[in-house]
Amino acid sequence: MNILIVDDDPKLRGFLVRGLEEQDYDCSEAGSVAQALECLAGPTAPDLVLLDVMLPDGEGWQVLRELRSKGSQVPVLFLTARSQVDERVRGLEMGADDYIVKPFEFRELLARIHVVMRRSSTPTTLAWGSLTLDNLTNRVQHDGRRLELSPKEFALLRTLMAAKGEVISKRDLLSEVWGFDFDPGTNVVEVGVARLRKRLAASGPERIETITGQGYCLASQDDA
């Protein structure tokens, strides 16, 4: 597996390369937005991007935006010295898969890499009732009609569909969809579920059910 490390600190890049290669990962490096985009445009796409927010010629947001605008779903894990929740939420809402604040323990980074890669191994196509979701094209069909979703709505629906009707807790959704390993003290899950629930209700028979005290699950008209 190849990991692209994008950070303007050569010492940190060197530390990460050594540590990751000891774990049998292949690594490539970039120290700027321009270098990162050049690497990503190459013939071999990375399996994961470790992306610093602050770069000498711009911000990591630009790299992420470029990736997602071209339909790439390569997992992105942000590295940043910014610890504010608003900054973390911004990156996750833009389509990042996770966030780790500098300075960090290498073993925590490894754990987050494992979680992100496990999450990205979801089957290419998911189906539930009249819903179909394609992870490669980011397309969702509901009852035969195209359903336009934001990146977070797409990730939320993917997580619910992968559960195949099983209940998923708020804590698990915070981790799987928003990348939080703690409760940020916001209603981000409730708001996200409400928005997706409204979109589903307008386009087909499948719906999101709230199971009091447990979490959320997908249900179909047949379950009513």
- For the chain, the average pLDDT equals 88
Helices (H) and strands (E) in the chain, counts: 8, 13
Please indicate, yes or no, whether the overall pTM of this predicted structure exceeds 0.75: no
Backbone angles phi, psi at 38, to 5 degrees: -65, -45
Q: How much is the pLDDT for 20?
A: 96
Q: How much is the pLDDT for 203?
A: 85
Q: How much is the pLDDT for 99?
A: 86
Q: Does 85 score more than 60 pLDDT?
A: yes
Q: What is the pLDDT of residues 38-71, one digit of tens each?
A: 999 888 889 999 999 999 999 999 999 998 888 7
Which residues neighbour 34 within 8 Å (Cβ) at sequence distance 6 or greater? 57
Comparing C-alpha atoms, which of 102, 105, 78, 74 is closest to residue 89?
78
Q: What is the pLDDT of residues 8-43, one digit of tens each?
A: 999 999 999 999 999 999 999 999 999 999 999 888
Q: What is the pLDDT of residues 155-176, one digit of tens each?
A: 999 999 988 899 999 988 988 8
What span, in angstroms and rounded, lies between the C-alpha atoms of 8 and 30?
A: 8
Taking residues 91-98, what's their average pLDDT?
Answer: 82
Residue ranges covered by each domain of the chain: 2-120, 125-223
The CATH number of domain 125-223 is 1.10.10.10: yes
Radius of gyration of the chain (CA): 18
Same fold, 2-120 and 125-223: no
What span, in angstroms and rounded, lies between the C-alpha atoms of 76 and 20?
A: 16
Q: Does 123 score more than 80 pLDDT?
A: no
Topology of the domain covering 2-120: Rossmann fold (3.40.50)
